[in-house]
Amino acid sequence: MKTIFEKSNNIDGITLTDESVVPNFIDEKFLRNGKCGLPQLSELEVLRHYKELSDLNFCIEKGFYPLGSCTMKYNPKVNELLASLDGFANLHPSQDDNDCQGALELMYKLQETLKKVTGMDAITLQPAAGAHGELTGMMVIKKYFEAKGESRKKVIVPDSAHGTNPASAALCGFEIISVKSNEKGQVDIEDLKTLLNSDIAAIMMTNPNTLGIYEENVLEISKLMHENGSLLYYDGANFNAIMGHTNPKLMGFDVVHLNLHKTFATPHGGGGPGAGPVGVVDKLKEFLPIPVIAYDGEKYFRKYDLAHTIGNVRDFFGSFGVLVKAYAYILMMGKNLKEASENAVLNANYLKEKLKKYYSLPYDVKCMHEFVLSGEDLKHECGVSTLNVAKALMDENTHPPTVYFPLIVHEAMMIEPTESETKERMDEFVDVMIKIYNEAKANPEKVISAPHTTPVKRIDETQAARHPDLNFKD
Ligand SMILES: *Cc1c(COP(=O)(O)O)cnc(C)c1O
């Protein structure tokens, strides 16, 4: 497909004014002499160009999107409608509290709901993404120990953790210590015990972990950590595994972040604007970013006087539009939030049982919202790697699952159908996975050279990530 610059044919899309009129209020030395180098096309050609581009994009409205850990569930359109209401969309963030009681009430009630969902005592809505929530949480933990006069420099992270966990802790200046997983895919308690000492500030975990497995020993872990004077951080990005059934507070955690753009059905923000609210237990609430939204029984207001606040992590109160969408989703779901988790878990287990007959399942236990297959056997048998399977899926109008993560599973395929999908869609996915499996055995070259139908075939992934060339050069 050509770029819009290549398509440019010097036809004016629109005529602005009489060309003989030269604006005389701009000093001549600032006026451009030559062409400005922008493409020129008729309005219809511009529309066609962007429609064609958007058709190349894959999205959940187009097909199955089982991208593990990313929770690509359906984002109901009514949420968009509500977020675009004039009173929300056109409100200025510096508006006086008295003039925006409705917006403040919405944020306050969202905070209260998220307190219930997580079991935590206070919430900040400010962070713009999951990883940003982690950073906020780790800043809170760091400042908490500083205020106590303790110098704890290390954070424990399981070897199965999401990559953002160690990155966030490291950004706060912590040293990362890895704790091993045992043969059940859970934190190895004996290994954990050997790592504990007065230098350990916290452990960052998620439960279920990134293998989709529930940590059976989570209560023992929280006891060990607290006895060591350390805190526990819960990565709640994929909260649809447990929502309404249990919560991080009951498991003994002190800090948690949620991804509204995963669990609470708001669009993914590509690093923001999403929303990664953070919840904390009572003893940490004076450390949260400001402002938090408060209510004195009569009026909602922005509260700035938190004794130990870490300051701002974002302008104003975060991604307000996203907060509206998430709150709309929560109100719409009501008690069914619990059922959403049940269906997410049911769907994942259904797919796991169907697919394990073909692709190996290293940890063959009941999973939560996702599970991890390994393409290692297939690779040994016929030279077809997980990457090849992923590319072949693109020819089948299916988004590939997350691959090569978590790192502790070789040739990993991390599959998360979410609760949005029907049995029919999941069966179609199973059929496609079996088709690729059979093709790999019969005609491996075909799978190894996939994709065959996409506009761009294989790119150099390292170059694309490290040296993206985003400019059009004539
Ligand atoms: C998605 C995810 C994150 C990061 O969230 P972003 O909004 O992408 O920054 C962190 N942890 C887990 C387990 C995730 O799935």
What CATH code is carried by the domain that includes residue 321?
3.40.640.10
Based on the fold, state whether residues 322 and 363 are members of the same structural domain: no
Based on the fold, state whether residues 367 and 277 are members of the same structural domain: no
What is the biggest distance separating any 2 CA atoms in the chain, rounded to whole angstroms? 82
Rounded to whole angstroms, the Cα distance separating 41 from 18 reads 19
Atom of ligand 1 nearest to the CA of 164: 10
Range of the domain at 208: 77-335
Q: Report CA(185)–ligand 1 centroid distance (Å).
A: 20
Atom of ligand 1 nearest to the CA of 262: 1
Q: Please, what is the Cα angle at 465 between 236 and 55, to 5 degrees?
A: 80
Query: Taking residues 89-108, what's their average pLDDT?
Result: 96
Would you state the pLDDT for residue 15? 72
Based on the fold, state whether residues 161 and 281 are members of the same structural domain: yes
Domain end marker among 335, 369, 392: 335
Based on the fold, state whether residues 325 and 383 are members of the same structural domain: no
Closest residue by CA, ligand 1 atom 15: 69
Whether the per-residue pLDDT at 151 is higher than 90: the answer is yes
Would you state the pLDDT for residue 17? 67
Q: Which residues pair with 278 in a beta bridge?
A: 124, 257
Classify residue 66: in a domain, yes or no: no
Give residue for tokens 């992934």: 461
Would you state the pLDDT for residue 41? 92
Q: Report CA(69)–ligand 1 centroid distance (Å).
A: 7
Tell me, what DSSP letter sits at residue 2?
Answer: -
Based on the fold, state whether residues 374 and 297 are members of the same structural domain: no
Classify residue 434: in a domain, yes or no: yes
The residues, any chain, with a CB within 8 Å of residue 208's CB and separated by 6 or more, are 214, 215, 238, 241, 242, 367, 368, 369, 370
Sign of the Cα torsion 361, 365, 366, 372 reads negative
Would you state the pLDDT for residue 22? 65
Based on the fold, state whether residues 347 and 439 are members of the same structural domain: yes
- Reference 237, options 214, 272, 208; nearest CA is 208
Based on the fold, state whether residues 269 and 358 are members of the same structural domain: no
Domain end marker among 335, 358, 374: 335
**Cis before 468 (ω within 30):** no
| Ligand 1 interacting residues, C-beta cut-off 6 A | 69-70, 129-131, 162, 164, 206, 235, 237-238, 259, 274, 276
Q: Are 193 and 223 in contact (CB under 8 A)?
A: no
Based on the fold, state whether residues 254 and 369 are members of the same structural domain: no
Whether the per-residue pLDDT at 113 is higher than 70: the answer is yes
Q: How far is CA 48 from CA 54, 59, 472, in A?
A: 10, 19, 19
- Reference 277, options 209, 327, 344; nearest CA is 327
Classify residue 71: in a domain, yes or no: no
Cβ atoms within 10 Å, residue 177: 17
Pairing of strands 231-236, 255-258: parallel
Please provide the average confidence, as pLDDT, over all residues in the chain.
94
Return the percentage of the chain with pLDDT > 90, whole number: 84
Ligand 1 site-directed mutation target among 157, 164, 242, most atoms within 8 Å of CB:
164
Classify residue 472: in a domain, yes or no: no
Classify residue 369: in a domain, yes or no: yes
Based on the fold, state whether residues 283 and 348 are members of the same structural domain: no
pTM for this model (two decimals): 0.91
Whether the per-residue pLDDT at 430 is higher than 90: the answer is yes
Would you state the pLDDT for residue 11? 84
> How many domains does the chain fold into?
3
Give residue for tokens 């940003």: 132
> How do residues 157-214 score in pLDDT, each as one tens digit?
999 899 999 999 999 999 999 999 999 999 999 999 999 999 999 999 999 999 999 9
Closest residue by CA, ligand 1 atom 1: 70
Q: Are 126 and 149 in contact (CB under 8 A)?
A: no
Classify residue 69: in a domain, yes or no: no
Rounded to whole angstroms, the Cα distance separating 470 from 472 reads 7
Would you state the pLDDT for residue 422? 97
Whether the per-residue pLDDT at 474 is higher than 70: the answer is no
> How do residues 288-347 score in pLDDT, each as one tens digit?
999 999 999 999 999 999 999 999 999 988 899 999 999 999 999 999 999 999 999 999
CATH of the domain at 382: 3.90.1150.10
Atom of ligand 1 nearest to the CA of 238: 15
Rounded to whole angstroms, the Cα distance separating 232 from 256 reads 9
Whether the per-residue pLDDT at 444 is higher than 90: the answer is yes
Ligand 1 site-directed mutation target among 235, 258, 370, most atoms within 8 Å of CB:
235
Classify residue 269: in a domain, yes or no: yes
Based on the fold, state whether residues 324 and 401 are members of the same structural domain: no
Q: What is the pLDDT confidence band of residue 356, given thresholds at 50, 70 and 90?
A: very high
Classify residue 64: in a domain, yes or no: no
Q: What is the pLDDT confidence band of residue 273, given thresholds at 50, 70 and 90?
A: confident
Domain end marker among 335, 370, 398: 335
Pairing of strands 154-158, 175-179: parallel
Based on the fold, state whether residues 385 and 443 are members of the same structural domain: yes
Q: Report CA(273)–ligand 1 centroid distance (Å).
A: 13
Would you state the pLDDT for residue 27? 86
Based on the fold, state whether residues 285 and 184 are members of the same structural domain: yes
State the alpha helices, DSSP H only, in 75-188.
77-83, 86-89, 101-118, 130-147, 164-171
Would you state the pLDDT for residue 57? 87
Q: Which of residues 395 and 9 earns the better pLDDT score?
A: 395
Q: Which of residues 289 and 58 earns the better pLDDT score?
A: 289
